[in-house]
Structure 1
Amino acid sequence: MRIYWLCLFAAALAACAGSQGYMAEEAPADAGASVSVQMINAPWLQAEQQRRTRRSRQDIGGLLGDTPSPYQIGHGDILTIVVWDHPELGAGAPAAQAQSAPPAGDGAGVPAAGFVVDHDGLVQFPYAGELRLAGLTEEQARALLAERLARYISNPVVTLRVQSYRSQRIYIDGEVRNPGLQAINDLPMTLVEAMNRAGGPLPTADQSRLLLARGEQRYLLNLPQLMQQGVNPARILLRHGDVLQVPSRDESKVFISGEVVAPRALTMHNGRLTLNEAMGEAGGLTPQGDGRQVYVVRRAGGEPQVFQLDARAPGALAMAEAFELEPRDVVYVAATRLANWHRNISQIFPGALSSVVGAAR
């Protein structure tokens, strides 16, 4: 009986070798040639870190050149105008304009009483006639009105203020407490100011992948990385029409599979997750895992990129800690040759290997 099982085991080995040879012969000659494998080593990691730093600085280079400037009046703004010692000039005309004024920018249902800048940027004021105030600051608009009134009033003293800011706005969407429209007022609308006005980010927000849309341009902002590089996010000024998207952390996951204890989808920590951390959260390699074949598959620009780490090499843990994963990366640990051989035998003859071992004993 023992000889029978040994013969059966030898036949299984021959069948396995024959099937593997057939598959190798039938495989196309250029299979896998289009995808190159980059070994993860110290020189490549150093060059990759420098490339990441240059890319992050280039992404925000076009956002740091703006300087705060006084608010410019625009169409839709509601102005409060007072001519000292002439209260009659502030009555009647403002009330008439307020009848057709839309609701104020603060969401109040009752229109604010004041002078509305029309769609042409004009305001009508007694004695002064039509004034083109769009594009002017409060100080410039005040000087222009005083100049017009000086023809009829001696040394007019004018107070002009923007009562409701409605001409310039930005939009914030995503993982913030109060998403929606934010009006730009006399305070500079910086990135930090906009986030605070929206109630701040939610615990589920990924602050490492803020997306700022400005016209045709798209800027990817990493707030923790900016702080580490000494760049104050308050230097980033937002403009009228900007759209700020705060994504969820669930959209930035890394997938780990293969010969690991607990294959799963891992959530990145503010956009950062190293290969070493991913392997640790997955419980490490199983006994069937081949430490020489730890792969990271990444799709960038439509073309897949494959990186390989030899976890048995000296300094592998340090290199795994320095390798930063990106959202949607796939980490795969291949099985050893012995594990693959055992599985092939088990698929061809279920239970044959166990029976042979038991018979040999």
Structure 2
Amino acid sequence: MDFSKKLLFTAVASLLLAGCTVVPGSHLSLPDNKQQADNDAFNVSEQVNVYPLTPSVIYQSKRPEVTARTNPALDAELTGYEYYIGPGDILNITIWDHPELTIPAGSYRSSSESGNWVHADGSIFYPYIGIVQVGGKTVTQIRDEIARRLAAFIESPQVDVNVAAFRSQKAYVTGEVNTPGQQAITNVPMTLLDAINKAGGLAKEADWRNVTLTRNGVEQDISLYALMQRGDLTQNRLLRPGDIVHVPRNDAQKVFVMGEVNAPQLLKIDRAGMTLTEALSSVGGINELEADATGVFVIRNVRKTNKVHQGNKANLDSADNTQLADIYQLNIKDAAALVLGTEFELEPYDVVYVTSAPIARWNRVVRQLLPTITGFNQLTEGAVRVRDW
């Protein structure tokens, strides 16, 4: 073997060995990835749980089924609802057969302009009887007190009290609704669903599943998907003064589809959810020439998933959070297995990864070597022409 051939053989062999060590592109191989880090002996395989995607695993991972349900507790609240007067409200007080005690609205004044303004201390002034404390009382209680006190001046007074303007109590709807802002609490009870509708409904980028209701500094998680799409009325609430309803953006409702698929990309989970098969379909399916059909993986970050669903800071130092991820493996060598994928629901921040087939990884190594081989061939041919000349 002459010098040029020896040089070519040595270079190709060295590159081939290097190519076998570091294959171009990424690859996921489970469960035999028992490689430790150089410095701290960190074993990734010990930090993940690997589950073949079988009907039993799918059944265990499914969310509880959302069904239509009534809400007797809310019905009872609505039946017994009463409005309590507060500072800023305006009352209309009528004493029948005594027009001198009733301020008429007139042609240029509305009933709110001609009524009795409730002062900051919760009181109003009324002729004959003076200061009346009305704050925190219902109109029935106010009517009874005024009638009782007027009885010293008028025989059998007939008193009527109503609210001309509701100004003291408000709830707030913020976030991804078409008209965010404050909404007045009135003598007509307002539920969370009523407030969302008054705010113009949900915006396009709203996250239906993770709405929060903050009351007295305490947050409640509410699923508008369950309420509005599935008819689960237990998700509805009667709003109280100071309540804050926040509809977040759906930025967290995303999954990542990577690896040997035709169009790797980030996908948004819509309000109905997304299954594994839907995700694969959205990216054009797997690459039939280079994908390993036995290696369709869903990598689920356990800590991130818990943080999204629980809505609080994950405790990374807790003994209960030793696992990094759950990995689910779907074998679609038989295309009928995609039926299983239609039942497996993806969670926010899931990574769908389709690994490459061994022949594809070998082809990448060869493609990496081709420029070097071509260069050595040209060098050899040039040396031969010089020798013959």
- Provide TM-score, normalisation by structure 2: 0.73
Identical aligned pairs, as a percentage? 34
Contact 1:346–1:352 (CA under 8 A) maintained in structure 2: no
Matching residue of 2:327: 307
Matching residue of 1:295: 298
Matching residue of 2:351: 330
Partner Cα distance (2:290, 2:373) in 1: 17
Matching residue of 2:17: 14
Deviations, residues 200-220 of structure 1 (Å, cap 9, x unaligned):
223343333322222333233
Report the CA distance between 1:284 and its aligned residue: 1.0
Matching residue of 2:271: 270
Match of 1:87 among 99, 110, 113: 99
Amino acid at match of 1:310: L
Amino acid at match of 1:351: P
Larger Rg: 2
Deviations, residues 110-141 of structure 1 (Å, cap 9, x unaligned):
97332122232222212222222222221221
Amino acid at match of 2:83: Y
What's the secondary structure of 2:146's corresponding residue?
helix
Partner Cα distance (1:354, 1:283) in 2: 35
- Give the number of aligned pairs: 334
- Provide TM-score, normalisation by structure 1: 0.78
Partner Cα distance (2:21, 2:199) in 1: 66
Amino acid at match of 1:318: V
278-287 or 296-305, larger mean C-alpha shift: 296-305
Partner Cα distance (2:366, 2:9) in 1: 14
Partner Cα distance (1:311, 1:280) in 2: 16
Report the CA distance between 1:12 and its aligned residue: 3.6
What's the secondary structure of 2:114's corresponding residue?
coil
Query: Is there any run of 5+ residues in structure 2 with no aligned partner, and where?
Result: 24-33, 308-313, 315-320, 377-389
Amino acid at match of 1:113: S
Report the CA distance between 1:181 and its aligned residue: 0.5
Matching residue of 2:60: 47
Distance 1:25 1:151, change over 3 A: closer
Contact 2:224–2:235 (CA under 8 A) maintained in structure 1: no
Distance 1:48 1:226, change over 3 A: farther
Query: Is there any run of 5+ residues in structure 1 with no aligned partner, and where?
Result: 95-107, 357-361
Report the CA distance between 1:155 and its aligned residue: 0.9
Partner Cα distance (1:128, 1:279) in 2: 77
Larger relative contact order (C-alpha < 8 A, sep ≥ 6)? 2
What's the secondary structure of 1:342's corresponding residue?
helix
Report the CA distance between 1:344 and its aligned residue: 4.3
Matching residue of 1:179: 180
Distance 1:40 1:134, change over 3 A: farther
Matching residue of 1:98: none
Partner Cα distance (2:177, 2:87) in 1: 29
Distance 1:180 1:320, change over 3 A: same
Contact 1:206–1:271 (CA under 8 A) maintained in structure 2: no
Report the CA distance between 1:82 and its aligned residue: 1.6
Report the CA distance between 1:172 and its aligned residue: 0.9
Partner Cα distance (1:344, 1:146) in 2: 96
Partner Cα distance (1:350, 1:267) in 2: 40
What's the secondary structure of 1:67's corresponding residue?
helix
Report the CA distance between 1:183 and its aligned residue: 0.4
What's the secondary structure of 2:48's corresponding residue?
coil
Within the alignment, does 1:321 sit opposite 2:331 as a pair?
Answer: no
